[in-house]
C-alpha cells in the first residue's frame, strides 16, 4: 500500500470518476417547433404530407420526421432551350430531426438508403448555395437514376446553424459540439426533384436550388441554431 | 512490489471486467505461492480499491453496452465474448504464472491515454471510443502492475474483447451495405432460374404477387458481426495456426452473403409456391436463428474444404 505507482493510478481513476460524474448524462435539447408546422406554402409551391410507414419509422429511430411533396401552382421555366412542359414537377422534401443522438443512433445517410431502394448515384459534388436571405450554405448535390427515371437531390446535415454535406464531417462536428455545448441534436434535410426527359439537368437543379433557397431561412425554427 | 502478492476479491467488479481481473487473480495467486513466507493481511485491498473505482467509472457505460447486446441482434454474441476471453486466460494459466511480474511506470502512459479517450468519448457522446477506452485501461493496468511481458501474454484475450463492442453504424454500414446489395442481386439472379420472375431494385425485390423489401434497406447484413465473432471462436478451438484461423474468420464474410441469398431465395420460393403471408413470417423467422444455423453449417463446410485443400501439417501448439 505504500507504492507510489499504485496511488498514482488510484488518484488518476478518482479524478476521472469525478470529471465524468460532474457532468450529467443528458443533453441540452433546445426548444423547437415540430416539423409538422413547416409552412404548407413555400414560394409558389404547396405541400402535401406523405405518410411514413411504421417499419420505416422503426429504422429511422427516435426523432421528428417530415415527408412532403411540394407542387408548383404556376408553370415555371428557367431553361432557355426547352418548352415549359414539365415546369411544375413536384419537389420532395424530407427532414429528419433528432433532438438527441446520445443513445448511439446516428442520422441515416441517403448514401445508404437511396441505393437500397434501387437508385444509383450518377454524379455528386459538394457545393455552396445562397439562400433567399443571402446567407450561403454548404450542400451536397447528387444526380441519381433508377432505370429511366432520373432525380436531382440536394442534401445536407443541419446542426446548430451549420450545414455540412459530408456525413463524416457532420459526425465529427456532432462530437465536438457535444463536448463544447452538451448538444447532440441535428437533422438531415433532403430536397429531391425529378429530372424529366424533356428538360436539362440545369432546369431540375434550378428548381431544387430555388426551393432550397426559400426553405433554408425557415429551418432554424425547427432545427435550432 | 507489494501488490504483486496481493489477492483480488473480485466481488465488486462489473460483469465486463472479469476476464482481465481474473488474470490478475490467477497470476497473483501463483506469485503468492512463491512468496508465501511473508503473510500479507490486507493484500486484497488494492485490488478492491481499483475494482471499485472501475465500477464507479464504468457502470453506466457497461449498463448501456449490456443493453445493446440485449437489444441489437448484431451484437447478441457480446454476452459470449467476455466468457471466451475468460476461457482464453484460463487456458493460458500456466504460461501466465511462469511470466515474471515487473511493475513499471511506463504503463501509466497507457492508462492516461485510456482516460483521455474515455473523457472525450463520454463528453463527445461517442460510444465506441468510450467502450474502447476500457480495453486500453485494462491493458494499462496490467502493464503498470504486472509489466510489459504480462501485457504481451494477455494481448489476445484483451483484443478479443473488441468483438463485443458495436462498431459505429456510420462505418459498419459501409462494410455491410454493399454485401447486402450483392446478396439481393445474386438472389434475384437465382430466383428466375427456379421459376420465380423478379424485378430487383437495390434491396427491394418485386415478386409476381408481392414486394419483398429486404427489410432493413439501410442496415446491411445484420448477422455479419456475430458470424465473424463466431468464426474466430470456432477457429480458435479447431485450428492451431494463425493463418488458418484468419482464413476461417474471413470466410465469415462470403458465408454471411450466401446465407442471406439463401434467405431471400427461400422466401421467394415460399411466396411463389406456397403462401405469401406465411412466407413473410418465414422471412422474418429466417433472419433469426435459422440463418445462424445455416451460417454455422457453411462455416463447418468451409473448414472441411480447407482441410481437403490444405491439410494441416504437423500439429503446432
pLDDT (tens digit per residue) in A140-174 = 998 888 878 888 999 999 988 888 988 888 888 98
Q: Residue B155 in 3-state DSSP?
A: helix
- Band of pLDDT at residue A13, cut at 50, 70 and 90: very high
Chain A positions in Cβ-Cβ contact with residue B170 (cut-off 8 Å): 106, 109, 167-168, 171
- Residue A57's closest chain B neighbor by CA? B216
The answer to whether the pTM exceeds 0.90 is: no
Least confident of A203-212, B110-119, B279-288: B279-288
**What was the ipTM of the complex prediction?**
0.77
Least confident of A9-23, A63-77, B49-63, B141-155: A63-77
Longest dimension (CA), chain B: 81
- Residue A56's closest chain B neighbor by CA? B216
- Band of pLDDT at residue B111, cut at 50, 70 and 90: very high
C-beta atoms of A112 and B45 within 8 A: no
A134: left (phi over 0), alpha (psi -120 to 50) or beta: left
The whole-angstrom separation of Cα A165 and Cα A212 is: 14
- Band of pLDDT at residue B18, cut at 50, 70 and 90: very low
Residue A137 distance to chain B (closest CA, Å): 24
* DSSP letter (8 states) at residue A64: E
Of B45, B170, B216, the CB nearest to A59: B216
Of A17, A106, A112, the CB nearest to B53: A17
C-beta atoms of B125 and A20 within 8 A: no
Picking from B73, B125, B184, B280 by the largest number of A CB atoms within 10 A of its own CB, the best residue to mutate is B125
- Average pLDDT score over residue span B6-32: 40
C-beta atoms of A13 and B50 within 8 A: yes
The whole-angstrom separation of Cα A218 and Cα A132 is: 10
So where are chain B's domains? Answer: 45-164, 169-309
What CA–CA distances, in Å, run from A144 to A108, A153, A194?
Answer: 18, 7, 10
- Residue A102's closest chain B neighbor by CA? B125
C-beta atoms of A116 and B202 within 8 A: yes
Q: Are A71 and A88 in contact (CB under 8 A)?
A: yes
Chain A positions in Cβ-Cβ contact with residue B126 (cut-off 8 Å): 175, 178
Residue A200 distance to chain B (closest CA, Å): 25
Residue B311 distance to chain A (closest CA, Å): 41
CA dihedral of A27, A28, A30, A36, whole degrees rounded to 10: 20
Of A6, A23, A175, the CB nearest to B3: A6
Per-residue pLDDT at B282: 65
C-beta atoms of A20 and B118 within 8 A: yes
The whole-angstrom separation of Cα B199 and Cα B266 is: 16
Q: For residue B283, is pLDDT > 70? A: no
- Residue B144's closest chain A neighbor by CA? A5
C-beta atoms of B108 and A9 within 8 A: yes
What CA–CA distances, in Å, run from B297 to B127, B259, B293, B305?
Answer: 34, 10, 6, 12
What CA–CA distances, in Å, run from B81 to A90, B68, B87, B231, B239?
Answer: 51, 14, 10, 12, 19
Q: For residue B162, is pLDDT > 60? A: yes
Amino acid at each position: 500500500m505504500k507504492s507510489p505507482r499504485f496511488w498514482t493510478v488510484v488518484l488518476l481513476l478518482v479524478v476521472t470518476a469525478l470529471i465524468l460524474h460532474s457532468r450529467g448524462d443528458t443533453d441540452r435539447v433546445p426548444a423547437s417547433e415540430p416539423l409538422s408546422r413547416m409552412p404548407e406554402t413555400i414560394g409558389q409551391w404547396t405541400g402535401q404530407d406523405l405518410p411514413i410507414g411504421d417499419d420505416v419509422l422503426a429504422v429511422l429511430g427516435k426523432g421528428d420526421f417530415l415527408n412532403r411533396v411540394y407542387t408548383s401552382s404556376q408553370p415555371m421555366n428557367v431553361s432557355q432551350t426547352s418548352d415549359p412542359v414539365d415546369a411544375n414537377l413536384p419537389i420532395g422534401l424530407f427532414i429528419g430531426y433528432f433532438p438527441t443522438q446520445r443513445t448511439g443512433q446516428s442520422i441515416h445517410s441517403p448514401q445508404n438508403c437511396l441505393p437500397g431502394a434501387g437508385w444509383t448515384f450518377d454524379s455528386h459534388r459538394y457545393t455552396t448555395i445562397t439562400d433567399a436571405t443571402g446567407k450561403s450554405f454548404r450542400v451536397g448535390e447528387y444526380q441519381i437514376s433508377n432505370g429511366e427515371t432520373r432525380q436531382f437531390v440536394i442534401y445536407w446535415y443541419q446542426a446548430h446553424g451549420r450545414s455540412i454535406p459530408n456525413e463524416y464531417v457532420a459526425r465529427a462536428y456532432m462530437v465536438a459540439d457535444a463536448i463544447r455545448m452538451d448538444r447532440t441534436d441535428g437533422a438531415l434535410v433532403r430536397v429531391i426533384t425529378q429530372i424529366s426527359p424533356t428538360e436539362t439537368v440545369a432546369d431540375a437543379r434550378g428548381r431544387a436550388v430555388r426551393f432550397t433557397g426559400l426553405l433554408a431561412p425557415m429551418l432554424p425554427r425547427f432545427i435550432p441554431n | 512490489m507489494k501488490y504483486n502478492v496481493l489477492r483480488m476479491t473480485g466481488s465488486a467488479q462489473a460483469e465486463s471486467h472479469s476476464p482481465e481481473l481474473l488474470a490478475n487473480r490467477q497470476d497473483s495467486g501463483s506469485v503468492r505461492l512463491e512468496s508465501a513466507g511473508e503473510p500479507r493481511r490486507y493484500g486484497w485491498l488494492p485490488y478492491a480499491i481499483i475494482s471499485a473505482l472501475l465500477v464507479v467509472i464504468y457502470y453506466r457505460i457497461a449498463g448501456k453496452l449490456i443493453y445493446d447486446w440485449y437489444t441489437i441482434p448484431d451484437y447478441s454474441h457480446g454476452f459470449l465474448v467476455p466468457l471466451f476471453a475468460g476461457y482464453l486466460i484460463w487456458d493460458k494459466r500456466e504460461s501466465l504464472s511462469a511470466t515474471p511480474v515487473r511493475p513499471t511506470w511506463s504503463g501509466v502512459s497507457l492508462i492516461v491515454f485510456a482516460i483521455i479517450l474515455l473523457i472525450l468519448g463520454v463528453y463527445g457522446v461517442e460510444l465506441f471510443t468510450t467502450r474502447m477506452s476500457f480495453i486500453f485501461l485494462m491493458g494499462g493496468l496490467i502493464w503498470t502492475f504486472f509489466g510489459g511481458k504480462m501485457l504481451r501474454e494477455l494481448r489476445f484475450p484483451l483484443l478479443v474483447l473488441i468483438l463485443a463492442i458495436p462498431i459505429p453504424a456510420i462505418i459498419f454500414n459501409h462494410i455491410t451495405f454493399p454485401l447486402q446489395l450483392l446478396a439481393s442481386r445474386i438472389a434475384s439472379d437465382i430466383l428466375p432460374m427456379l421459376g420465380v420472375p423478379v424485378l430487383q431494385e437495390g434491396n427491394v425485390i418485386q415478386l409476381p404477387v408481392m414486394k419483398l423489401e429486404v427489410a432493413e434497406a439501410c442496415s446491411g447484413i445484420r448477422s455479419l458481426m456475430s458470424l465473424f465473432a463466431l468464426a474466430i471462436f470456432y477457429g480458435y478451438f479447431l485450428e492451431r495456426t494463425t493463418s488458418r484461423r484468419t482464413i476461417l474468420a474471413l470466410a465469415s464474410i462470403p458465408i454471411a452473403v450466401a446465407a442471406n441469398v439463401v434467405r431471400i431465395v427461400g422466401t421467394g420460393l415460399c411466396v411463389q409456391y406456397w403462401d405469401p403471408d406465411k412466407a413473410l413470417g418465414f422471412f422474418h423467422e429466417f433472419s433469426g436463428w435459422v440463418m445462424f444455423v445455416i451460417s454455422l453449417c457453411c462455416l463447418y463446410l468451409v473448414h472441411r474444404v480447407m482441410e481437403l485443400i490444405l491439410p494441416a501439417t504437423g500439429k503446432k501448439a
